[in-house]
Amino acid sequence: MADIDKIKEIVDRIHDTQNITKEELEILLSLNEEDAEYLTTKAREVRESVYGKDVYIRGLIEFTNYCKNDCLYCGIRRSNKNADRYRLSLEDIMNCCETGYELGFRTFVLQGGEDAYYNEDRVCEVVKTIRDKYPDCAITLSIGEWPKESYEKFYKAGANRYLLRHETADSCHYAKLHPEEMSFDNRIQCLKDLKEIGFQVGCGFMVGSPYQSVDTLFKDLQWIKELQPHMVGIGPFISQQDTPFAGKESGTLEMTLRLLSIIRLIHPRVLLPSTTALGTIHPLGREKGILAGGNVVMPNLSPTSVRKKYALYDNKICTGDEAAECRYCLQERMESIGYHVVTDRGDSKL
Ligand code: 5AD
Ligand code: FES
């Protein structure tokens, strides 16, 4: 049984200094749910002081599941011969945007594997076409590692934001999650480049990924302090049956919520999504994520015909639902906990 006064003291100190020590992290991560309540409440207070009861929505368009990479955890890795590959055409993507715009989305997130078909020119074409048609919308790219020059072109074409999870800030841990040809240093360099160019940048990691430890998590938090990203995407690792990590244990709801709260305290104004993966491991995962300090949800806008194919992990939710169903489902879910979805661009208040 942890000493409640001690926990309060730790949480208040983290709140006041926006910093955490490794020892404090270890204590907070080992608390049971009841003892962690003060942390959750504090994180929620901070979240509400910056964003009120608003929840930002982003329309996620998973436009290709071809990928040249072979990340050990990921269901669309190139070695997965069972993955049913697809890519959306420019026209398909524009149709998603049109549906999304009508549903009130003012941010489109284009996510995909590192697909050779979608080279620099084709990505720029997609971005420009969306930019011309929707000048009032934010365009977010989430398409992996590119040379700085390519990122610059994407930015010039009209993209505003870029999501690239760093996955882990510990290079040894990184090497255990990725094939040899992928480089931790390059990942970090990409994030620095993106920030320098002027993108609103999101980094992030999976909670409970194989070989993760308090040490690696502490490094993740330090990296977040250093990079000062606009957004941090975290969700539980969930094993995918056709990957080398098939039998590995998934991350937990509690651990993910704990980390969401801690990130909210050390980086109060950050955009913090309550992810689909969190909704996958618990029926009320996304609601709980918002109540623990999250302020963004990212419903899927991809056509139902391809949803199941973007299977980064097993049992992913919403694979049979239409865009409008997800949109209104999330609205109701947020209202059920006293929050409301807002339909503007939802820029970070950094
Ligand atoms: N479980 C949870 N998240 C995963 N991702 C990839 N594979 C998995 C998995 N098995 C996450 C990675 C990637 C993001 C697009 O999805 O963190 O950056
Ligand atoms: Fe492409 Fe994981 S294999 S992101």
Q: Render each residue's pLDDT in the chain as its tens digit; 350 residues.
A: 568 999 999 999 999 999 999 999 999 999 999 999 999 999 999 999 999 999 999 999 999 999 999 999 999 999 999 999 999 999 999 999 999 999 999 999 999 999 999 999 999 999 999 999 999 999 999 999 999 999 999 999 999 999 999 999 999 999 999 999 999 999 999 999 999 999 999 999 999 999 999 999 999 999 999 999 999 999 999 999 999 999 999 999 999 999 999 999 999 999 999 999 999 999 999 999 999 999 999 999 999 999 999 999 999 999 999 999 999 999 999 999 999 999 889 988 87
Task: Choose which residue among 68, 72, 74, 313 to substitute to test ligand 2 binding: the one with the highest number of ligand atoms within 8 A of its C-beta.
Answer: 74
How far, in Å, from the CA of 157 to the mean position of ligand 2? 25
Q: Which amino acid residue places its CA nearest to atom 13 of ligand 1?
A: 165
- The ligand 1 atom at the shortest distance from the C-alpha of residue 313 is 10
Please report, for residues 68, 91, 111, 174, 278, the alpha-carbon distance to residue 181 in angstroms, rounded to integers and kept in the order given. Answer: 11, 34, 22, 12, 30
Ligand 1 contact, 218 CB (< 6 A): no
Ligand 2 contact, 74 CB (< 6 A): yes
How far apart are the C-alpha atoms of 341 and 325, rounded to whole Å? 14
How far, in Å, from the CA of 237 to the mean position of ligand 1? 7
Ligand 2 contact, 113 CB (< 6 A): yes
pLDDT in tens, 302-342: 999 999 999 999 999 999 999 999 999 999 999 999 999 99
- The ligand 1 atom at the shortest distance from the C-alpha of residue 314 is 10
Angle at 347 between CA 90 and CA 344, to 5 degrees: 70
CB atoms within 10 A of CB 91: 9
CB atoms within 10 A of CB 213: 11
- The ligand 1 atom at the shortest distance from the C-alpha of residue 236 is 2
Ligand 2 contact, 71 CB (< 6 A): yes
C-beta separation of 113 from 66 below 8 A: yes
* Predicted local distance difference test score (pLDDT) of residue 18: 98
pLDDT in tens, 58-102: 999 999 999 999 999 999 999 999 999 999 999 999 999 999 999
Q: What is the identity of the amino acid at 45?
A: E
Q: Which amino acid residue places its CA nearest to atom 4 of ligand 2?
A: 113
How far, in Å, from the CA of 69 to the mean position of ligand 2? 5
Question: Where would I find the H helices in the chain?
Answer: 4-17, 22-30, 37-51, 90-102, 120-133, 148-157, 171-177, 184-197, 214-227, 253-266, 276-281, 285-291, 304-307, 323-336
Ligand 2 contact, 290 CB (< 6 A): no
